[in-house]
Amino acid sequence: MPEFDRHVLETLREPLEAGAITISRAAWQTDFPAACQLVAAMNPCPCGWRGDPSGRCRCTPEGAARYLRKLSGPLLDRIDIQIEIPALPPAELAARAHSPAEPSAAIAARVHAARERQLSRQGKTNRELSGRDTDEVCRPDAAGETLLREAGERFGWSARAYYRVLKVARTIADLADADMPAAAHVAEAIQYRRVFTDH
Ligand SMILES: [Zn+2]
């Protein structure tokens, strides 16, 4: 992702927020639908080895920081799930080949059920909830609420980031077929927004 110009990356903010893009030229302006699911990947530094136990990274701290700064705070605010995936040692990779993962069909059935749950509760998916709707249908239980408030203060979340974590927690609760997001669902949602706050 940071291989793109910062200006290009910033243009993603509009479709990620509004689900549409507005193209303006001198004489006319048109809106195009652009609701999308953005899936993006990046390296931790220009060479890709930062943090690897082999010590192979030759980037300066300043070079690595400049690379990460390509992604602005407002852009990251709009990306719901941000996770770090460390490289697996070869032995672990080989071991995984012998223990098959859960089949995609089983996961798809669970996703379908969670989606149906959202549509029957509120007539739209969690992603489409407005701020006010979110307050109404995503409110966690008391323990979850405390956890969320503390994390928001500790990590300095914007209001936008806060609401997005709340929606992710609601979705995790939907996947678990739970009526209300509980502390465990909120904690999982918080974990998905830790990468850029820990560095
Ligand atoms: Zn490096």
Q: Where are the domains of the chain?
A: 6-79, 114-191
Q: What is the pLDDT of residue 51?
A: 85
Are 145 and 187 a contacting pair, CB within 8 Å? no
Instruction: Kindly give the distance from the C-alpha atom of residue 188 to the centroid of ligand 1, in angstroms, as a whole number.
Output: 29
Q: What is the pLDDT of residue 5?
A: 92
* Average pLDDT along the chain: 91
Instruction: Kindly give the distance from the C-alpha atom of residue 56 to the centroid of ligand 1, in angstroms, as a whole number.
Output: 8
Q: Give per-residue pLDDT as tens, 148-195.
A: 999 999 999 999 899 999 999 999 999 999 999 999 999 999 999 987
- At 66, the amino acid letter reads R
Q: What is the pLDDT of residue 91?
A: 85
- At 124, the amino acid letter reads K
What does pTM read for this prediction? 0.86
Instruction: Kindly give the distance from the C-alpha atom of residue 85 to the centroid of ligand 1, in angstroms, as a whole number.
Output: 16
User: Where is pLDDT greater, at 88 or 9?
Assistant: 9
How many Cβ atoms sit within 10 Å of the Cβ of residue 33? Answer: 9
pLDDT of residue 58 exceeding 50, the answer is yes
Q: Give per-residue pLDDT as tens, 62-92.
A: 998 999 889 999 999 999 999 988 888 888 8
How many whole angstroms from its chain centre is CA 197?
A: 13
Instruction: Kindly give the distance from the C-alpha atom of residue 55 to the centroid of ligand 1, in angstroms, as a whole number.
Output: 9
Q: Quick one: pLDDT band at residue 199, thresholds 50, 70, 90?
A: very low
Q: DSSP string spanning 130-185? A: -HHHHHHHS---HHHHHHHHHHHHHHT--HHHHHHHHHHHHHHHHHTT-SS--HHH
Q: Quick one: pLDDT band at residue 197, thresholds 50, 70, 90?
A: low
